[in-house]
Structure 1
Amino acid sequence: MKPDSPLLKILACPLDKGPLILDELRGALYNPRLRRRYPIVDGVPQLLPSSGEPAVADEPAAR
């Protein structure tokens, strides 16, 4: 997934329905409000609530 993908404008967190941020370094979509990361596998975002992983507290937030 690329940062300028129009898909990023419509994707939302499955838990709080808010926007997600592309974390290119980790290959994931990041929700800064809940500090959860959703992996992107073979270009497909895994947006099931069970596929979200908690972000480690000392990691810098993705931008």
Structure 2
Amino acid sequence: MSLDPALLAILACPEDKGPLYYLDSEQVLFNPRLSRTYEIRDDIPVMLVEEATTVDDDEATRLNALIAERSIAPTFES
């Protein structure tokens, strides 16, 4: 199940307040500026900084490639 577009339009990173990328296949929201993912559990984004996962350079590159390949738009335009 995918997240509601109205919800996606208002989601921002709780740390830097910037847009995120919703990777449905990964069930995460990704912040490429901080190389951080926010897990989606039971269709609910977990937007707590202390529960976020900082990904290594290889994983960040892979997620950025998915965003480019699938032309995924950010949650909002900054």
TM-score bin, normalised by smaller chain: 0.7 to 0.9
Q: Which has the higher strand share?
A: 1
Percent identity between the aligned chains?
43
- What is aligned with 1:51? 51
Runs of 4+ in structure 1 off by over 4 angstroms are: none
CA–CA separation in structure 1 for the residues paired with 2:25 and 2:55:
14
Q: Which has the higher helix share?
A: 2
- Output the TM-score relative to the length of structure 1: 0.86
CA–CA separation in structure 1 for the residues paired with 2:44 and 2:3:
14
CA–CA separation in structure 2 for the residues paired with 1:49 and 1:58:
21
Q: How far did 1:56 drift?
A: 2.4
Report SS of the residue matched to 2:58. Answer: coil
In the TM superposition, what whole-angstrom CA distance separates every residue of 1:4-26 from its partner, at most 9, and x where no partner exists?
Answer: 61211100001000011001221
CA–CA separation in structure 2 for the residues paired with 1:23 and 1:16:
19
Question: In the comparison of the two structures, how many residue pairs are matched?
Answer: 63
Give ranges in structure 1 of 5+ residues lacking alignment.
none
Larger Rg: 2
